[in-house]
Structure 1
Amino acid sequence: PFVPCTPLGCLKLLKSVDPNITGKNAVVIGRSNIVGRPMAALLLNESATVAIAHSNTKDLPALCRQADILVAAVGRPEMIKADWIKPGA
């Protein structure tokens, strides 16, 4: 099946840092058919636990703070604040 290059590149980058993402909590912010959804599917295929969020997700900062892997696939610069990111994520 066809996989868009951006999510595939993100997965390759993630796996270069940590080859085993099995069981990790991943949050993908963005639900587009080009980046967000394919990224979530790739993470699911690697046995990560995946949540898909968007700009209207209730308490988005708290959800992000739980993520071992955080993927921002939104077209808004600086949407994710530094204090939303879990140390070591």
Structure 2
Amino acid sequence: TPEAVLQLLQQRGVALAGSHALVIGRSRIVGSPLAAALLAADATVSVAHSRTKGLASLCRSADVIVSCAGYPGLVRGAWVKDGAAVVSVG
């Protein structure tokens, strides 16, 4: 799944190097490996989870948001800055 997210971003022309990527969810299956892969792609990575405060603020600052927390509708449109890439890993 993390590789599929990276391929999706690449196919859409999303430049990861130098970007701020936010991964919402820290599971061993998706969130943590995805965060490591984004770091390897030279993105600056933030990881949010169930105890994270200020999720809206983190989302507003991110160039790439990947929600893999398993909650539909967790990220609201008003939280996403113009031009940001958003992936929901449902």
TM-score normalised according to structure 2 size: 0.88
Residue-pair matches, total: 84
Gaps spanning 5+ residues in structure 1: where? 1-5
State the 1:19 CA deviation: 5.5
Give the AA of the match of 2:60. R
State the 1:20 CA deviation: 3.2
Tell me the C-alpha RMSD between the 2 structures. 1.0
Match of 2:36 among 30, 35, 41: 41
TM-score normalised according to structure 1 size: 0.89
State the 1:16 CA deviation: 1.1
| Amino-acid identity (%) | 49
Give the AA of the match of 2:43. A
**Does 1:16 pair with 2:7?**
no
Deviating above 6 A after TM superposition, structure 1's stretches of 4 or more consecutive aligned residues are: none
**Does 1:56 pair with 2:51?**
yes
Where does residue 80 of structure 2 map in the other structure?
85
Q: Distance in 2 between matches of 1:32 and 1:19?
A: 24
Bigger radius of gyration: 1
> Which structure: greater strand fraction?
2
Give the AA of the match of 1:79. L
Q: Distance in 1 between matches of 2:2 and 2:76?
A: 22
Q: Distance in 2 between matches of 1:39 and 1:33?
A: 9
Q: Distance in 2 between matches of 1:20 and 1:59?
A: 25
Gaps spanning 5+ residues in structure 2: where? 85-90
Q: Distance in 1 between matches of 2:15 and 2:7?
A: 12
